[in-house]
């Protein structure tokens, strides 16, 4: 019979050290891969949202001033999660088929979460500033309708900055997705605690950026509302 030999303390320490080295090599790579996947998903999500907004507006399912021109929608409306706005209220009628996943209509503190990113839609008002869904879909208002027939924007930013993603993204009624490195004191968008303001990606030199009237600051000669550099994602 052979005697069973246990691992010595030194051998165990060597094994643990090897595992730690392998983990130190692999974990950063896995994190980078996860972040890259989430960022690609966020860009695709905003592109889908732009398509959904076009369909929503053209269907005129929200027409608070009754002029036959439809208004753009909030996340909870686009997803069919909430009823649609009518003048002075929110109805029980829902958008069908929904233009974005229903899960994106679950809005909390003004934004919804999908694949490591927070999403928020802003719609303009009669004089500004643009408003989101904090507190639920706002009641429809005929005074806001003309602006909401032509303008909207959405932002996507990391639910956990540095872990689920790093960059922030933007799209509006032009349909072009812009991205920023999300750095500096004026950005650092992170989960529910630090979210982009309505005019974050808009040109501060344009008219009323907080009500989405100015163009996006997509070139170096323009200054974005948050001081960042917002560039086309390609």
Q: For 152-201, what is each residue's pLDDT tens digit?
A: 999 999 999 999 999 999 999 999 999 999 998 889 999 999 999 999 99
CA-to-CA distance for 101 and 159, rounded, in angstroms? 18
Nearest Cα neighbor of 62 from 2, 147, 134 is 147
What's the confidence (pLDDT) of residue 149? 98
2, part of any domain: no
217, part of any domain: yes
Give how many domains the chain has, as a whole number. Answer: 1
72, part of any domain: yes
What's the confidence (pLDDT) of residue 29? 63
What's the confidence (pLDDT) of residue 234? 75
191, part of any domain: yes
26, part of any domain: yes
| pLDDT exceeds cutoff 80 at 22 | no
Q: SS3 of 36, please?
A: helix
Q: For 51-99, what is each residue's pLDDT tens digit?
A: 999 999 999 999 999 999 999 999 999 999 999 999 999 999 999 999 9
What's the confidence (pLDDT) of residue 165? 96
86, part of any domain: yes
The residue segments making up the domain with residue 159 are 11-232
Contact 116, 158 (CB under 8 A): yes
95, part of any domain: yes
200, part of any domain: yes
């Amino acid at each position: 019979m052979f005697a069973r030999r246990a691992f010595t303390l030194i051998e165990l320490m060597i094994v643990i050290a090897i595992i730690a080295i392998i983990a130190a090599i692999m974990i950063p790579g896995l994190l980078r891969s996860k972040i890259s996947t989430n960022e690609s998903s966020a860009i695709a999500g905003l592109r889908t949202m732009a398509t959904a907004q076009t369909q929503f507006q053209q269907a005129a399912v929200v027409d608070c001033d009754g002029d036959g021109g439809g208004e753009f929608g909030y996340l909870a409306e686009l997803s069919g999660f909430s009823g649609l706005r009518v003048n002075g209220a929110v109805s029980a009628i829902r958008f069908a088929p929904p233009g974005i996943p229903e899960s994106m209509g679950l809005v909390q503190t003004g934004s919804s979460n999908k694949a490591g990113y927070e999403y928020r839609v802003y719609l303009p008002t009669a004089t500004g500033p643009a408003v989101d869904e904090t507190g639920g879909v706002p009641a429809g208002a005929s005074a806001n309708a003309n602006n909401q027939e032509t303008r909207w924007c959405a932002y996507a930013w990391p639910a956990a900055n540095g872990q689920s993603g790093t960059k922030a993204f933007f799209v509006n009624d032009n349909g072009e997705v812009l991205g920023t490195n999300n750095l500096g004191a004026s950005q650092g968008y992170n989960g529910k605690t630090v979210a982009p303001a309505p005019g974050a990606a808009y040109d501060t030199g344009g008219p009323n950026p907080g009500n989405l009237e100015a163009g996006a600051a997509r070139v170096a000669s323009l200054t974005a509302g948050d001081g960042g550099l917002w560039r086309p994602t390609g």
